[in-house]
Amino acid sequence: MVIDRRSFLRDLAYFSGGLALACSSLGNRALALADDPRPNAYRAVGFGDLFPTAAKNTGETFLSLPKGFEYNVIGRVKGMMSDGRPTPAAHDGMWTFKVKDELRIVRNHEVSHGSVPKEGAGIGTVNHYDEMAGGGTTTMVIDPKTRTIIRDFVSLSGTMINCAGGPTPWGSWVTCEETTLGPTVRTSSRGTKTGGFPKPHGYCFEVPAAANSAVAPVPLRAMGRFTHEAIAVDKKGVVYLTEDYNPCGFYRFVPNKSKRLAEGGTLQMLMVTGKSDLDTRNGQKVGARLEANWVTIDNPDPAEADVDPLAVFKQGKAKGGATFNRLEGCCADRDGKIYFTSTSGGDSKGGQIWRYERKDRDRGYLTLVFESPSKEILYMPDNICMRPKSDLLFLCEDGDYPGMESKNFVRILTPKGQMADFARNVSTQFPRSEFAGSTFSPDGKTLFVNLQSAGLTFAIWGDWGKFKA
């Protein structure tokens, strides 16, 4: 990203009072950046330098971490679960829940099987949505002291490409399909065929964290059929949704009944007020606060999505909805503000971090919180989460692309707009694997995160109080 620093300061002066970012220290930070063009000006000390660290429970080295941090390897792919089923591959988005006295994690599996039907693909034994689709979710019950699994099992079967999702305040996980494949067979320009499934895909599904076996799958059709990525829920029970495509939109779902997503509602796409059809993918100013409203999607479940992944987006765009570049991670902070990532947005295509703040029922403010100036600072942010009782935003990188050296990190965005490194993938067997599914235990003492291609979940702990901006 090429930054006009003096212009940025002028914008900041206009949007004073801490509105441009989530803390009043932004003014000091902006002054520092204005006269310091070095990339290191964007860096925070964080927890310190990273060092290759062996897992405490297996002795294998997958991560570089700051001194004083440890981790266990849990939930390994192909390991036999408590329900007698092998742990599925492609660990992705997940979340932690407190269910009575238990700590539970509901975890996605982004399994595609080449995007074609496969006999017996369902990861469970019952309640398949589509028995020829190999994605879904598993649930792990964790011992919070030993940070190991007590039991684990399939909790949703027969979906596909379950990428991310998000938790609800009422104790469930909404898992999202990142595809709109269905019964129609698609043929690419190279002659590759995909699709031909018994059921249409491209939906969200709700999985109660308290479920002890595979739930009966109910596609949440009113929440749209598109290449879903993640969701977050604000304090009013409104669900915000990201779309992993380029171009794509940022959506919200207003339920007809609180906590009853399956009973329908209204799907809408964000529009920047007074700037119809705004393209946010580049040329945007960090800190600029844009007033936003919402346009209604008339048909959230169009049949043409079977062959056109942008069928929903095109409806919103036609009404003036804003365009983004591959929206992925999404989470709510403790005040109900919604943060979401554009994994390849921005002038450097290294990624953007946006925030939506609700003003009233139909209006709010959209702010570009951070835009990567280079891949050394932040490269393709994906899943995100806030550490409980803090303003630290943890970001998983997905910079795993052919012809490029993989340096995937878990990064931390501070309230001052700086980036700190927290973990790096140093696996020799899976050097290009992305991080995914970052989530903290409710007490904030353990960070759980996946190394997707490796099919591993890590439980990381240490001195969280020593962070330095």
- The whole-chain average pLDDT of the chain stands at 92
pLDDT band at 402 (very low <50, low <70, confident <90, very high): low
Interatomic CA distance for residues 449 and 48, integer angstroms: 19
* The length of the chain, given as a count of residues: 469
Q: For the chain, give the percent of residues with pLDDT over 70.
A: 90
Interatomic CA distance for residues 456 and 175, integer angstroms: 19
Residue ranges of the alpha helices (H) in 104-189? Answer: none
Q: Where are the domains of the chain?
A: 5-466
Kindly tell me if the per-residue pLDDT of 366 is higher than 60. Answer: yes
Q: What fold characterizes domain 5-466?
A: Neuraminidase (2.120.10)
Residues 100 and 190 sit within 8 Å (Cβ to Cβ):
no
Question: Which of 66-70, 77-81, 127-131, 429-433 shows the lowest mean pLDDT across its residues?
Answer: 429-433
pLDDT of residue 406: 72
Question: For residue range 275-305, what is the model confidence (pLDDT) as tens digits?
Answer: 999 999 999 999 999 999 999 999 999 999 9
Q: From the CB of residue 256, how many other CB atoms can be counted at a distance below 10 Å? A: 11
Nearest Cα residue to 331 out of 370, 383, 294: 383
pLDDT of residue 291: 98
Question: For residue range 157-205, what is the model confidence (pLDDT) as tens digits?
Answer: 999 999 999 999 999 999 999 999 999 999 999 999 999 999 999 999 9
Per-residue pLDDT averaged across 406-410, rounded?
Answer: 89
Question: For residue range 239-259, what is the model confidence (pLDDT) as tens digits?
Answer: 999 999 999 999 999 999 999
pLDDT of residue 1: 35
pTM (2 d.p.): 0.92
Helices (H) and strands (E) in the chain, counts: 3, 28
Q: From the CB of residue 258, how many other CB atoms can be counted at a distance below 10 Å? A: 12
Kindly tell me if the per-residue pLDDT of 80 is higher than 90. Answer: yes
Nearest Cα residue to 95 out of 426, 453, 376, 450: 450
Per-residue pLDDT averaged across 309-322, rounded?
Answer: 98
| Amino acid at position 324, single letter | F
Question: For residue range 12-41, what is the model confidence (pLDDT) as tens digits?
Answer: 333 333 333 333 333 334 333 433 455 678
pLDDT of residue 407: 82
Phi, psi of 64 (to 5 degrees): -100, 130
